[in-house]
Amino acid sequence: MEIPEIAQALINNELQTLLKSSEYSLSPQTRVEIYEALGVSNFSYNKIVDETLNSDPLPNLSIGDLSRVQISLTVARKVAMLWGLACQESDLHFKRERDKSEEEIYLHRLKSEPIENIPDIPRAFVPSHILEMAERALAGNIQNYRTLRFEANELWLMYPRPEQVEREFFIKWATQDALYEVIGWKKYNYDEPPAEDALYAFAGIFEGNDFHNRRCRLDKNKEHEFWHWWLSEAIPQSVSKVDVS
């Protein structure tokens, strides 16, 4: 699929502005406008989670939905690569013991069982597991969609707050954003715009040792790099994967 003209015009305008300055922030409003310009949605966002938990199968994705899903997956994969660094940063505040036997059990189950039947995810595999859930759901490789939705909802319990594990938190939520888009639970708005969690995962600087005085700011160079990649690579490469035939 090609990027619709309206969306491409918005992207081109932002790229021109970005290339003229070493500091650049892509506004939430423009991000939402770009997403909306990719096409109409088939999702019924007025349905609450309780109503959809027992629904089977997943909703049909429109061309616009598929474009947005592919972008979110591309973005989530990029920041998921930072998971090792994120865990190292968190361990400066408190180090969690790594249970190798738990990881071995998990990997065995992942090979032998449907992914939606695996509720216990070792820390090392959190983002990769959520992405695998999203990718299998998108491919139709799920045996029980009700269980998938239940486990997707349960993921709220993992990293409910960011303090002292900020980069882990934002990476996890970037992957969960992609999963929620696949199953029809995510609609972006100006308060929760596209790529917000991924932006902080990629460009965030988290300071302060005490739980109560933690502070977050964005590395302006990394922010510039992220938006340049999002506009010039992530969106066109993702949209090109959508088959309109």
Domain that holds residue 178: 5-239
Q: Is residue 92 part of a domain?
A: yes
SS3 110: helix
Q: Is residue 245 part of a domain?
A: no
pLDDT of residue 84: 96
Alpha carbon 111 to its chain centroid, in Å, reads 24
- CA nearest neighbour of 61 among 148, 134, 150: 134
Rounded to whole angstroms, how far apart are CA atoms 194 and 117?
29
- Where the chain has pLDDT below 70, the residues are 44-56, 210-211
pLDDT of residue 47: 58
Q: Is residue 244 part of a domain?
A: no
Tell me the two tokens of residue 76.
């989530």
Q: Is residue 188 part of a domain?
A: yes
pLDDT of residue 96: 80
218: which strand partners? 204
pLDDT of residue 50: 58
Q: How many domains does the chain have?
A: 1
pTM over 0.85: yes
pLDDT of residue 209: 72
pLDDT of residue 207: 86
pLDDT of residue 80: 98
